[in-house]
Structure 1
């Protein structure tokens, strides 16, 4: 029996359908003066053209300042041009202005807020997916059979009409849904369903045979005849416009496929579009929400309990943070190196949560009861070994923070991990270690961390002060800094001129001349303990700026 087909579906979706489709909470309805059944016929980002009518579209108010002072005017202008709704970005701790709500009420236009963790791309994807869902329509046997049951119902209905076994896969060859498997199902189908994805060896085989290339480029159903133990198969790509979303596979399961199986599969592919768009949106939303939550925990922002809930972590679970920092010149190799570290952390610690930000990777590592309290340091050592083995990579410094009693205190561990990284870089820059040490925990560089804390406290006093030492430092740095480096070596060796000269690769008399010049030109008395203390602090502050 061939399922009927319908014409093109509507090119619009109601606000109610969008909100019902929005499982991830990308949008929050603030008010809808005209009700939720208003039609949304498209989307406009910001102000696309000074006189362009909006004609029932939803306006994404991108570019407004965090305090949203221009929101009321933006709402009124959107309403004047005929928009159906306006979406404002929601900023943490900044409520939508009452004036914007009043403007929406006055103009009769719906007003929504975009979740802080989401971006405008997520909003566009949501609208596109919801519109596709509305467009598939009803009124034929295939659509009616699959209605309300998602991909699983669609796979079952498709299997019934084409008399075969169905799998629905995404572009990563993961099985999203499948029909019931009969006793005569071939081994590839059984292993694919049991493993939740197509086996790697099977993907390699399909790639070598050219079938994947054909699938990626074909607009129609691909037929693969039976071959030995492999039954006859039909495959079709699921596309939205020109974008590949996934594929449907029909395999003969103890009987021949129906004569109209290809037509059935085409219709099923069109019905699968909104479901696969939703799958992609859900994955994207989950990744963004978890990244937002992890960022909030590490930086101590927002509702930390809600962040833990988003990450699936109980508040009573101990944890520690590991941070890897790389300052690659011109970004050379930084993406490759940091991505490798992020993958390693995730692969080796299934409970770890990883955040990539600019030149660093931060890992929140839950510690089980009775677990090794130095687990974070063990991970730091593993990441250091991996980074050191990447050819031509810029240096990476890795710090492990202390273990805290709860993820609610993750910002404390994160801050300490960053201090460890800073201490490692400071020690390396000053040649404190015979060989560069690129990973450590707080206990390994404790004195250096304390020194850095003190220097941070002293810096405002130093920068606002005047006197001979300030004059010496500023004048010499402008001239190249030879005298500052000489004083640093002299003070670090407790006045041992021969040792300091060897560190500087100078003749001792050259060093004596420089010290004498400091006394004569800047009236610096190196025999005075207070002067030596101020000089030592000034030189260190210069090194760590």
Structure 2
């Protein structure tokens, strides 16, 4: 696409080309055609929907197939039905439910995998069934989102594998600071771009013309705590996020100190607030500059969404590769190569959260957010502390594959993995009950089955660690017996439990007669046959205890002089306690 000249007002140009996301369709179609020549291969449809769900796209009808690829984006213009190539995602900006039967027929004929219409869409049952049978997926553009945002983000996803450089309003899409400088120049004032947590994403030049609070913000890359608290008390964020226009704030009065007022505007994608732009001013902006700020917020929204999608795609790719590498099979070999772990001695680690928030939707959401942040921090920690290590969240576990520092042997690999893991947990707040890390056995990356076995070790280790309390980091070799007991317990539950074993018999007798023979037998076994110590623990005379023990052995039908029968009874007691803990 053509790049605006340096003398062109980039935001006015952006608005002229894409005003309200529904007008300049011809420009869109030209851009889509130019872009399609740059696409070398497709992106999975389910990945596209996953990355844009919640902000721009909604799943309406159809069956998602993991093998379906999107290779291009096209705008459907009923005035001229251009020839469509297979794999195109068709944006039907003029269509409604009544047009769907014809669109579905056209999509099937041209091998179009997905159609996008503006929501809400009230589909009759028969039409929904027709869509299900057709193999076409119907998506909805979320309320409040614009077609412009969808086009730009779809282009970003398709371009992520093509390596093409994009321009946003004539500026390199990667250069957020250049974008901030452009906004500052148009407004003739220093500005900052912040996320929802008041973290600084970018800032323009001329910050020396602002005040002390702004200087502290730039130096710390976040709005100072005292300023945020003052703004919250004054209802600044409530006003900001409820308005679609720039809002003027008398900052000196809010903070109670000398400085400049601010004009701020929320950055939105659909109904979701992504952040805000803050302008240090001496007086309210003129109507012309307010409009510039409104237009700038739209461009910044595209920038932030593009970064989000790019990082989401990277994380998803990394997650898929690690999952494949740890799952054995033919796909593991290719995944190991792409992760640059070929012919390396490695160990698999797994991080998971403790705590239980089952049944509470809001708590589940909070737990997932904490898990994602913790996994991201763990991956970053490994990248610094163990060069070459890779990590990603797969399900509810963050798996990591850590290679040895040399290509031969496993010297100090386990000790390094333990040290790195303990160091991370020591620095991590105990949110959602805290985190635990399990380590599998050392594996040779050339053998995918060894990696899969090491991952299985990690899963079994985490199950033991999450029962707590105890160590937060452990090797599977140190937990193998505990893991084995859990496995035996699972097998027994699948078979309906122990059938009339010694513990079951004595427990049934105690329940019927109100006695406590089970306690005497269990304590004697735990004391390795020390009747004196066991009687003291129960505060009983040793003769009384010995009588109860004989009665318990008779009722349980166990020969306490036989080591095999003693071991069987001890194992049954242990499994019984384990089941109580799990339940």
Same fold (TM over 0.5): yes
The answer as to 2:84 corresponding to 1:41 is no
The answer as to 2:506 corresponding to 1:476 is yes
Q: What's the CA shift for 1:242?
A: 3.8
Q: Distance in 1 between matches of 2:309 and 2:99?
A: 25
The answer as to 2:241 corresponding to 1:216 is yes
Q: Distance in 1 between matches of 2:304 and 2:578?
A: 52
Q: Choose the corresponding residue for 1:351, options 382, 385, 404.
A: 382
**Structure 1, unaligned stretches of length 5 or more?**
45-51, 59-74, 88-102, 113-119, 137-143, 429-435
Contact 1:130 1:274 in 2 (8 A): no
Query: Per the alignment, do residues 475 and 171 of structure 1 end up closer, same or farther by CA in structure 2, a change over 3 Å counting?
Result: same
In the TM superposition, 1:198-277 aligns within 5 A as 198=223, 203=228, 206-207=231-232, 211-223=236-248, 234-251=263-280, 260-277=288-305
The aligned residue for residue 58 of structure 2 is none
The aligned residue for residue 97 of structure 1 is none
Instruction: Summarize deviations over 1:185-228 as a string: whole Å, max 9, x none.
Output: 54776776676655656655655665444322333223468989
- Which is worse superposed, 159-168 or 188-197? 188-197
The aligned residue for residue 72 of structure 1 is none
User: 1:55 is paired with a residue of what secondary structure?
Assistant: helix
The answer as to 2:128 corresponding to 1:55 is no
Contact 1:125 1:281 in 2 (8 A): no
TM superposition score normalised by structure 1: 0.59
Q: Distance in 2 between matches of 1:170 and 1:532?
A: 64
Query: Per the alignment, do residues 365 and 220 of structure 1 end up closer, same or farther by CA in structure 2, a change over 3 Å counting?
Result: same
Q: Choose the corresponding residue for 2:69, options 18, 29, 35.
A: 29
Q: Distance in 1 between matches of 2:404 and 2:220?
A: 28
Q: Choose the corresponding residue for 1:172, options 197, 222, 235.
A: 197
Q: Distance in 1 between matches of 2:359 and 2:420?
A: 24
In the TM superposition, 1:485-496 aligns within 5 A as 485-496=519-530
Query: Per the alignment, do residues 208 and 502 of structure 1 end up closer, same or farther by CA in structure 2, a change over 3 Å counting?
Result: same
Q: What's the CA shift for 1:318?
A: 4.7
In the TM superposition, 1:305-344 aligns within 5 A as 316=344, 318-319=346-347, 321=349, 323=351, 326=354, 328=356, 339=370, 343=374
- Which is worse superposed, 159-168 or 307-316? 307-316
The aligned residue for residue 533 of structure 2 is 499
RMSD of Structure 2 on Structure 1 (CA): 6.3
Q: What's the CA shift for 1:270?
A: 3.2
The aligned residue for residue 524 of structure 1 is 558
TM superposition score normalised by structure 2: 0.56
In the TM superposition, 1:59-458 aligns within 5 A as 85-86=113-114, 131-134=148-151, 146-147=169-170, 149-150=172-173, 152=176, 155=180, 157-176=182-201, 181=205, 186=210, 198=223, 203=228, 206-207=231-232, 211-223=236-248, 234-251=263-280, 260-287=288-315, 290=318, 303-304=331-332, 316=344, 318-319=346-347, 321=349, 323=351, 326=354, 328=356, 339=370, 343=374, 346=377, 350-351=381-382, 353=391, 355=393, 362=398, 364=400, 366=402, 369=405, 373-378=414-419, 399-401=438-440, 412=453, 415-417=456-458, 419-420=460-461, 437-439=470-472, 441-442=474-475, 446=478, 449-450=480-481, 453=484, 456=487
Instruction: Summarize deviations over 1:258-277 as a string: whole Å, max 9, x none.
Output: 88322222222234443333
Query: Per the alignment, do residues 508 and 131 of structure 1 end up closer, same or farther by CA in structure 2, a change over 3 Å counting?
Result: farther
Instruction: Summarize deviations over 1:404-463 as a string: whole Å, max 9, x none.
Output: 67697665555445555666789x8xxxxxxx74446349x84x6347548857996999
Contact 2:524 2:531 in 1 (8 A): yes
Q: What's the CA shift for 1:30?
A: 6.4
Q: Distance in 2 between matches of 1:127 and 1:24?
A: 25
Contact 2:43 2:71 in 1 (8 A): no
Query: Per the alignment, do residues 538 and 172 of structure 1 end up closer, same or farther by CA in structure 2, a change over 3 Å counting?
Result: closer
Q: Distance in 1 between matches of 2:191 and 2:147?
A: 25
**Structure 2, unaligned stretches of length 5 or more?**
1-7, 49-67, 73-82, 116-129, 154-166, 384-390, 406-410
Q: Distance in 1 between matches of 2:238 and 2:334?
A: 44
Q: Distance in 2 between matches of 1:43 and 1:301?
A: 47
User: 1:239 is paired with a residue of what secondary structure?
Assistant: strand
Q: Distance in 2 between matches of 1:504 and 1:337?
A: 46
Q: Distance in 2 between matches of 1:23 and 1:231?
A: 50
Q: Distance in 2 between matches of 1:156 and 1:390?
A: 40
The aligned residue for residue 91 of structure 1 is none
- Which is worse superposed, 207-216 or 222-231? 222-231
